[in-house]
Amino acid sequence: MKIALINGSPKGKNSASHTLLEDVKEYLGQRADVATYLCNTPVISQENIEKLVQADAWVFAYPLYVDGIPGHLLSCLSLLEQARIQKPQICVYGIVNCGFYEGEQADLALKILQNWCKKTGFAWGGGIGVGGGGGLDMMPKMESGKGPKAPIEKSMEELANAILKKKTRDNEYVSVAMPRFLYQMGAQMGWRQQIRANGGKVRDLRRKGS
């Protein structure tokens, strides 16, 4: 079975989308022929389209941007629609990570991909909305079932098993294993560290552009 993992983050390998796809890849292990693709610009090459057509399943991972799919990835999806690929057996899965705590906020970004499947004729396999995605790429890999990423890793494992069986599932939502207030506190400390590192002051965070 050939599986295409498609990273739709503009940040490429330095992204939560990459981290999540690496988890899926690890769980797929040797049971499939896995190839990774990057969709970080509004254009997808003809060469990559031809390679994608050979796959049995496409797994898109992308960040939630303004409640939906990032503009550049939307452009790639449109180009894939225009390519008129006649392979309804290709099963499409979606993983959306969002900076908000609640994975449910990724719901519409999954629905848009689902609507795209209906338009293009591909099979929709289901998606996962991942909450608390802000720090995922910085979280260390821990022993299985341990640490704040544990529930997310478990859902990636379940997704990997569903992909191998070409199973269709309902969309699911998951979040980091930490209280919401702690996640919020961590994120807000991060913004303050970053603005200071850039030579600014904390009060600059609320500056109005002019």
Partner 1 sequence: MKLIITDIENFSIPVEGEYKVISPKGDIRCCIGCFGCWVKTPGRCVLLDGYQDTGIEMGKCTELILVSRCYYGSVSPFVKMVQDRAISYIHPDFVMRKGEMHHKRRYQNVITLSSHLYGENITEDEKETARALLQANADNYDGVVKSVSFYPSVEQLEDIVL
Residue 113 touching partner 1 (CB under 8 A): yes
Strand partners, 60: 6, 94
Which of 158, 172, 178, 184: binder of partner 1 (CB under 8 A)? 184
Residue 123 touching partner 1 (CB under 8 A): no
Q: Considering only residues 91-110, where is the footprint of partner 1 by CB under 8 A?
A: 100-102, 104-105, 108
SS3 content of the chain, % helix, strand, coil (to 5): 45, 20, 35
- The CB-of-69 to partner 1 minimum distance in angstroms stands at 6
Which of 112, 123, 139, 164: binder of partner 1 (CB under 8 A)? 112
Residue 129 touching partner 1 (CB under 8 A): no
Residue 188 touching partner 1 (CB under 8 A): yes
Residue 45 touching partner 1 (CB under 8 A): no
Q: Is 129 exposed, middle or buried (0-12, 13-18, 19+ CB in 10 A)?
A: buried
- The CB-of-114 to partner 1 minimum distance in angstroms stands at 8
Residue 70 touching partner 1 (CB under 8 A): yes
Report the alpha-carbon distance of residue 43 to residue 76 in Å, rounded: 6
Report the side by side order of strands in the sheet with 33-38.
33-38, 2-7, 57-63, 91-97, 123-130, 172-174
Residue 118 CB neighbours (<10 A): 9
DSSP of 75-108, one letter per residue? HHHHHHHHTT---TT-EEEEEEE-SSS-GGGGHH
HSE of 70 in the Cβ direction (CA atoms, 13 Å)? Answer: 22
Residue 78 touching partner 1 (CB under 8 A): yes
Residue 122 touching partner 1 (CB under 8 A): no
Residue 75 touching partner 1 (CB under 8 A): yes
Please give the torsion angle defined by the CA atoms of residues 28, 29, 34 and 40, in that order, rounded to the nearest 10 degrees: 70
- The CB-of-205 to partner 1 minimum distance in angstroms stands at 6
Which of 68, 121, 135, 147: binder of partner 1 (CB under 8 A)? 68
Q: Which residues bind partner 1 (CB under 8 A)?
A: 9-11, 15, 41-42, 63, 65-72, 74-75, 77-78, 100-102, 104-105, 108, 111-116, 118-119, 180, 184, 187-188, 191, 194-195, 198, 200, 204-210
